[in-house]
Structure 1
């Protein structure tokens, strides 16, 4: 009986300019998933083993890591948080014919063409951001400004919001974060008479100074600040902004209540990390649960058999049952869908989250 470890490549942004807090949460979930899978006997008696590679939010670095992991004999590659980086990893995985299960990146066009080699746990951006647009409409916010930086991810988000809000009588004006100081941005918001400003920018720069400027401008007291990409989810948001970081609605992918499995995993992650896990950590755990099931279904490490096994997945994840399907407009096998919430930090207690909308 073969008892050698089954190697799984793990991609995560663990150094700047990557979003390190997100990468740490993702890696914690992946590692916890491996521990639980191995405690349950691994895959046909073979333990899982992570080979971790830091992408540092660099697409070229991610693609090179996929090449390295493929050459090392990894059965599959998993992880990544940043959408543009995950897109590069997915393209390389497709070219090298190695299965890639994307944990957290949401960009709809994860691959240029349909592929059987890539699957995704996170919901597509179009699905989640439409839910966020529904929240804005329900809150009476129809004249929206988005402050953006050049990126296919931010451009895609702005387009989704504009199209969906347009069907409800709303409008979106785009403002370039690189072309204005935070104070000049505030002037533009007043001139445009917007009712909400959405942060489609990086964290901490320029998100933090923009939030501080808007909060300090009395002319904008009634303007809703929002961050659909989830910047306020992580502890460093609250550390840097304090009370200014409260009441900034964002997307997260959790059910209103975790089931028994989710509660158990949450307790384990809290004990290991010293803080409550974000939804990104649950995405990591679910990723490993899926890969363990796929490897069992493939009855070995033949990569083609592993890729074919996406359709056989039936896993109880931390946030609900996981199965993969083909979704129109999405070129990868997709869990449709993880649960969606719009939440914010409670101004009375910024360490507590309030659920504002479920999609």
Structure 2
């Protein structure tokens, strides 16, 4: 399995390194751009930790493995990283992959701080070893549902592919909207062409279509077909999973990809740490950093706090989740247990519903704050 080791400027004292394993999608079919942003945040934080003396004088090292959005590959990487002696695991963007990694890490007694995956049931059974920075899907997607209702949408269609993640999201939306007078109809993307999706939207009199599908396909084809269909001129499209966050969305769709609201986990205004990190990430990525890059940075910031306070023993690291308090780029981070979640959870990161400005697709507009 391909991998790499990232180590920034060495700390002030010599010593063997403290290693963190990092799971990141860096090749297709993984969302490569999300993986690149996540890795940039992880790497920048490692550099900052080492510039600040490392972990009790020992350099912090990131041992990176590419998951390629493959749950089996991720589980094998967890096995390998455990054998290599990493103190903890970090990262992963794709929810189904993170669930496989979390389950394996839990079985091996390896603490895992998940950066970006939102699936509520990250492990089948409750565990003390896994914590998460991203909000649980049920929390974030309820906020998105409130946004839909506030914008006047009660007849919602979802274009969905088969996946635990997409099915869970559709269920959250339906459960939240139904008591409030909203309806959700699912369009099965295994059987419908983009043109057939348009026909269904007209027949169902939907006012909003949510894209619970992968990018670039079938998302790009569906968006293009809807934008070209005069019958659907007033339809709103949305992508709660955040596909429009990344530059390749704007590159592949241009103006057609604007005005499609999505969830983003950033505050309205970054504080001093977030502002400094944001500038450094922009330089590192040669592009505006996504919220995923900030999630990566915050993951290492939390782990460094734990490792400095509790040492590198895996059981001690796992036992620290309910006690740790860390300053992140997006606020103060502490973990608790929440109903329906099997892991320790930051409650909660800031949540926005944003879209790309049709007049200037590189600019984001904040439409709703949770």
Judge same fold: TM > 0.5, yes or no: yes
Q: Contact 1:319–1:338 (CA<8 Å) still a contact in 2?
A: yes
Residue number in structure 1 paired with 2:108: 96
Q: Is 1:311 paired with 2:322?
A: yes
Query: Secondary structure of the equivalent of 1:352?
Result: strand
Query: Secondary structure of the equivalent of 1:312?
Result: coil
Residue number in structure 2 paired with 1:339: 350
- Determine the C-alpha separation between the residues in 2 that align with 1:261 and 1:2: 28
- Determine the C-alpha separation between the residues in 1 that align with 2:284 and 2:103: 34
How far off is 1:47 after superposition? 1.1
- Determine the C-alpha separation between the residues in 2 that align with 1:21 and 1:2: 35
- Determine the C-alpha separation between the residues in 2 that align with 1:82 and 1:34: 22
Residue number in structure 2 paired with 1:28: 40
Residue number in structure 2 paired with 1:357: 368
How far off is 1:167 after superposition? 1.8
Q: Choose from 90, 93, 97 the match for 1:81.
A: 93
Residue number in structure 2 paired with 1:271: 283
Residue number in structure 2 paired with 1:329: 340
Q: Choose from 280, 285, 292 the match for 2:297.
A: 285
Query: Secondary structure of the equivalent of 2:322?
Result: helix
Query: Secondary structure of the equivalent of 1:34?
Result: helix
Q: Contact 1:11–1:54 (CA<8 Å) still a contact in 2?
A: yes
Query: Secondary structure of the equivalent of 1:167?
Result: helix
- Determine the C-alpha separation between the residues in 2 that align with 1:121 and 1:297: 19
Deviations 1:219-276 (A, max 9, x none): 0011100000000000000000000000000000000010110000000001111111
Q: Normalized against structure 2, the TM-score is what?
A: 0.96
Residue number in structure 2 paired with 1:197: 209
- Determine the C-alpha separation between the residues in 1 that align with 2:339 and 2:54: 34
- Determine the C-alpha separation between the residues in 2 that align with 1:13 and 1:110: 17
- Determine the C-alpha separation between the residues in 1 that align with 2:190 and 2:99: 24
Residue number in structure 1 paired with 2:51: 39
Write out the 4+ residue segments of structure 1 that deviate beyond 4 Å after TM superposition: none
- Determine the C-alpha separation between the residues in 2 that align with 1:278 and 1:95: 32
Residue number in structure 2 paired with 1:50: 62
How far off is 1:48 after superposition? 0.7
Kindly report which structure 2 residues correspond to 1:241-260, keeping only aligned pairs within 5 A, or say none.
241-260=253-272
- Determine the C-alpha separation between the residues in 2 that align with 1:83 and 1:203: 15
Query: Secondary structure of the equivalent of 1:109?
Result: coil
How far off is 1:309 after superposition? 1.1
Q: Choose from 77, 80, 84 the match for 1:65.
A: 77
Q: Unaligned regions of 5+ residues in structure 2, if any?
A: 1-12
Q: Unaligned regions of 5+ residues in structure 1, if any?
A: none
How far off is 1:2 after superposition? 7.3
Q: Is 1:8 paired with 2:20?
A: yes
Q: Contact 1:297–1:309 (CA<8 Å) still a contact in 2?
A: no
Residue number in structure 2 paired with 1:222: 234
- Determine the C-alpha separation between the residues in 2 that align with 1:244 and 1:83: 27
Kindly report which structure 2 residues correspond to 1:126-275, keeping only aligned pairs within 5 A, or say none.
126-275=138-287
- Determine the C-alpha separation between the residues in 1 that align with 2:254 and 2:90: 34
Q: Contact 1:297–1:312 (CA<8 Å) still a contact in 2?
A: no
Name the count of aligned residue pairs: 358
Deviations 1:34-70 (A, max 9, x none): 0111111111111110100000000000000000000
How far off is 1:14 after superposition? 0.3
- Determine the C-alpha separation between the residues in 2 that align with 1:104 and 1:27: 12
- Determine the C-alpha separation between the residues in 2 that align with 1:197 and 1:317: 34
Two-structure CA RMSD over aligned residues (Å): 0.8
Residue number in structure 1 paired with 2:7: none
